[in-house]
Amino acid sequence: MEYGAIDLHLRRSQIRIIDEQEQIVVDRRVDTTRTDFERIFGDRARMRILIESSTESEWVAQHLEGLGHEVVVVDPTYAAMYGSRSRKVKTDKRDVAALAHANRHGVYRRAHRVPLGTRILRQQLRVRRQLVQQRTALVNLLRALLRQEGVRLPSGQTETVLARVDRLAVPGTLQTALTPVRTILEALNEMLAQMDGMFKARAATDAVTHRLMTAPGVGPILALTFQAVLDTPARFGGDARRVSAFVGLVPREDSSADRRHKGSITKTGPNDLRALLVQGSWAIWHSRSARAAPLRRWAQTLSARRGRRIAVVAVARRLTRVLYAMWRDGTDFRPAALVGASIA
């Protein structure tokens, strides 16, 4: 049997194939294209091929699987996989040699591969996030241009910014300069309204999304992003603490012997989901609903000792674990279950 490895890059990738005795059969640098991969692997007997998880890894893996090979997308942070690689001299050839050796001896850790439906949802949410960022940038530009003319834009929801501008006495010269900004904002508002309508419709028909939305501070976007990022509860082995660590909402720790020191949160993992969870926690902080009461009361108690910002982040960490448990166990949010429970 042969064993393959690809050090995958955007434009050019390094390929190595070895045999049972780890003799090199193929060692080539090729374009990162379906044509070149098929030229190397298309006529060869079925083999196991290792690829590091990356932006390009999924389409490459699917293409090679279509050619009849077993493809393993591996976690690039697994240090044992690179045991034979010198860390002082790093080249693509050394990297692919380490991957081929790890493949031959089975020293690797599989990365989670996301199914098509989840990938599509991630893409849709990513597009929405980019549109929201563009709209925010334009609103900030609009506000700055008005301030330069001594005009202050009243606060309000982003969707109503143009209506608020219409109520202001804007100089004629500035109105001309703002025309393209208004045009783009109108288009962005329309596109985002359509996307949000699509997400709300999906949330109404998806049982998991609907269940997650029974928790306080959780709307369609947060619920869908939570599902898209985590993909499946089984991925974390049923441990809610692993989820909050994955999202980057656990404190940094530098402890040794009798010394214990915890710092700010790690902020590792998906920034978009972490930001939405913190936004949801602020909604809980300001909420007066009965279902948010246990989390809100605990946050207020913690705030008195540690400050409001730390308390809100702590709620975000707990909310992450609660949402995961609801998904894992197939249960709706139960405020009574949090009364008297430790939610640190």
Based on the domain organization, do 101 and 146 belong to the same domain? Answer: no
Q: Domain range for residue 136?
A: 116-205
Cα(280)–Cα(221) distance, integer angstroms:
11
Q: Would you say residue 111 lies in a domain?
A: no
Give pTM, 2 decimals.
0.88
For residue 61, with 0-12 CB atoms within 10 Å meaning exposed, 13-18 middle and 19 or more buried, which class applies? buried
286 and 314, same domain (yes or no): yes
Beta bridge partners of residue 72, listed in sequence order: 50
The length of the chain, given as a count of residues: 344
Same domain assignment for residues 235 and 314: yes
How many domains are there within the chain? 3
In a domain, 21, yes or no: yes
Q: What is the pLDDT of residue 311?
A: 95
The verdict on 54 and 80 lying in the same domain is yes
Nearest one of 59, 105, 63 to 82, comparing CA atoms: 105
Whether residue 144 is found in the same domain as residue 241: no
Per-10-residue mean pLDDT for the chain, 344 residues long? 96 97 96 97 97 96 97 94 69 93 96 95 97 97 94 92 93 92 96 97 96 97 98 94 95 68 84 97 95 93 94 96 96 82 49
DSSP string, 183-214: HHHHHHHHHHHHHHHHHHHHHHH-HHHHHHTT
What lies within 8 Å, CB to CB, of 204 at 6+ separation is 210
Rounded CA gap, 292 and 204, in Å? 22
**Residue 110, in any domain of the structure:** no
Do 53 and 154 fall within a single domain?
no
Closest of 296, 323, 299, 298 to residue 311, by C-alpha:
299
Give the whole-angstrom CA distance, residue 282 versus residue 309.
9
Domain edge (last residue) among 205, 220, 240? 205
Domain assignment present for residue 343? The answer is no
Give dist(CA 140, CA 136) in Å, integer. 6
Asked if residue 295 and residue 257 are part of one domain, the reply reads yes
Distance between CA atoms of residues 8 and 64, nearest Å? 13
3-7/48-52 β-pairing:
parallel
Pair 140, 239 in one domain: no
If we measure between CA atoms, which residue out of 120, 129, 107, 131 comes closest to residue 185? 131
State residue 88's pLDDT score.
Answer: 66
* 40 token code pair: 């190397």
Running DSSP on this structure, what letter comes out for residue 336? G
Q: What is the pLDDT of residues 9-67, one digit of tens each?
A: 999 999 999 999 999 999 999 999 999 999 999 999 999 999 999 999 999 999 999 99
Same domain, 157 and 81: no
The alpha carbon of 105 is separated from its chain's Cα centroid by a whole number of angstroms, namely 32
Nearest to 196 by CA among 153, 285, 135: 135
344 found inside a domain: no
Q: Are 243 and 320 in contact (CB under 8 A)?
A: yes
